[in-house]
């Protein structure tokens, strides 16, 4: 017996009509020209990470450092039984400052190929931004940082391009040491 077996045919029609109405309303409210993003701080800089690439956020996670890896790899973390590589956004984005190695705040992002966690210093609010307010990355941005940004908002907040980070072949660590 399923949950739906307890409803009459008339009740099922009402539920179906409500579901269709809710789907239409949410579809109308969704603006394709907007970005919903999570605000994060990396040292003293604020970034927006579009939530369509994010899977979860963790606070106070122990990250195990790895030997013989590039500086942008903070280590690995055991997140609910899954070993996830942790990338230090400060190093990737060339943000000056000191990275702490204590318990970290992690923002987990994924695409079809991989899942990684980004180490951030602070997690902020989820907000919506209009794509029309996004200006191109200025030419004077450092190469690595500019490659990983979608653009800059009017308030100076940079919007990360998670797909560009996850698909960057320069970030693949595939070396045999020894």
What Cα–Cα distance (Å) separates residue 136 from each residue in 103, 115, 144? 35, 27, 15
pLDDT of residue 155: 86
Does residue 3 lie in a domain region?
no
- Within a domain: 7: no
> CA 105, CA 128: separation in Å to the nearest integer?
22
**158 belongs to a structural domain:** yes
Q: Return d(Cα 23, Cα 53) in angstroms, integer.
A: 22
CATH number of the domain where residue 74 is located: 2.40.50.180
- Give the DSSP letter of residue 124: E
List pLDDT tens digits, range 113-161.
Answer: 889 999 999 999 998 888 888 888 877 766 556 789 988 888 888 899 9
Write out the residue range of the structural domain in which residue 53 sits.
Answer: 35-170
Structural domains in the chain (count): 1
- Is 54 within a domain? yes
Q: Confirm whether 10 is domain-assigned.
A: no
pLDDT above 60 (res 2): no
Mean confidence (pLDDT) of the chain: 83
pTM: 0.74
Is residue 30 in a domain?
no
Residue found under tokens 């307010």: 133
């Amino acid at each position: 017996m399923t949950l739906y077996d307890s409803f009459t045919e008339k009740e099922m029609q009402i539920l179906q009509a409500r579901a269709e109405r809710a789907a239409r309303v949410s579809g109308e409210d969704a603006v394709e020209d907007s970005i919903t993003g999570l605000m994060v701080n990396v040292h003293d800089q604020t970034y927006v990470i579009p939530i369509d690439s994010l899977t979860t956020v963790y606070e106070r996670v122990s990250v195990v450092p790895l030997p013989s890896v590039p500086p942008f790899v903070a280590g690995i973390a055991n997140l609910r039984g899954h070993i996830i590589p942790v990338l230090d956004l400060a190093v990737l984005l060339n943000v000056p400052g000191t990275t702490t190695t204590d318990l970290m705040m992690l923002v987990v992002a994924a695409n079809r190929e991989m899942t990684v966690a980004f180490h951030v210093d602070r997690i902020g609010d989820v907000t919506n931004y209009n794509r029309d307010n996004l200006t191109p990355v200025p030419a004077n941005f450092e190469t690595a940082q500019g490659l990983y940004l979608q653009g800059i908002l009017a308030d100076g907040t940079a919007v990360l391009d998670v797909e560009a980070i996850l698909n960057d072949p320069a970030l693949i660590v595939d070396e045999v040491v020894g």
